[in-house]
Chain A
Amino acid sequence: MTTPEPSDPAEGPTDPTPTPAAAPVEREPDPRFSYANERTFLAWIRTALGLITAGLVVTQLFPKFDLPFGRRLIGLPMISLGVLIALFSYTHWQRNEQAMRWGRPLPPSFLPRLVAIVVSVVAVVGFVLVLWEGID
């Protein structure tokens, strides 16, 4: 809220109390919505854990590719994405919580697009690597 500016004598007296009709009010959200937000946070945490686990499987359990760093080329981007998602899952939960408290629309999230892009790129890299191995 901005404080009303001093009235300009040329314009006559201004309204000293701006109408508070649009002033947002903080209120406790319906707990079911808070639970749903918490479950969404957990779903992102599981997505992060799934990516981290998949990256570990590739680097720790897969046989080596002929190409040096081949396994790391696949596994490390997935683990990195998992770390990013774990961090952003919290900020997204917090943004959603604030939006619900203040009656604002829920903010958009870039995470689904990021996951789609990274997983697609990793899948293509994996496809090429497997194809490469098959040619020998």
Chain B
Amino acid sequence: MAGAGSGASFDADSVDPGLASERTDLAWNRSGLALLGCGVVVVRGMTVGDPIPARIGIGTVILVLGGVVWLLGAWQAHHRRAPGLARRPARPGDLLPVALGTAAVGAAAFVLGLFFPV
């Protein structure tokens, strides 16, 4: 790494212009894949167990909520542009929906596991 560690001043064009940004994009992709794994289990539970409305409903909530949250987060992360930078660093409004959405997915999973195990 170049010697901008003090954070006092840096030239954004001269230090690591694209790779940190690319790693961050990849991290968003991995997070989407982790969510996909969650969705696969939900679909499996919906199709193997009795298709009672509650199980189908909560499962659908998890799938839709997860998909929307991740698409929103990854899309805006990829399109955050800033002068001289590959991307604009995250602001609270960028990440809070992702955190709350993931927590909501977990809450729905808790209800599914507590009341409607297959």
Contact = CB atoms under 8 A, between A and B. Distances in A.
Contacts, number: 147
Nearest to A75: B113
A59 B31 contact: no
Interface in B1-49: 1, 4-5, 7, 10, 12, 15-16, 20-21, 23-24, 27-28, 30-31, 34-35, 37-38, 41-42, 44-45, 48-49
A132 interface: no
B53 interface: no
B90 A34 contact: yes
Chain B contact surface mostly: helix
Interface size class of A (residues with CB under 8 A): 35 or more
A60 B23 CA distance: 34
A12 B80 CA distance: 57
A33 B10 CA distance: 12
Interface size class of B (residues with CB under 8 A): 35 or more
Interface of B: 1, 4-5, 7, 10, 12, 15-16, 20-21, 23-24, 27-28, 30-31, 34-35, 37-38, 41-42, 44-45, 48-49, 77, 85, 87, 89-90, 92, 95-96, 98-100, 102-103, 105-107, 109-110, 112-114, 117-118
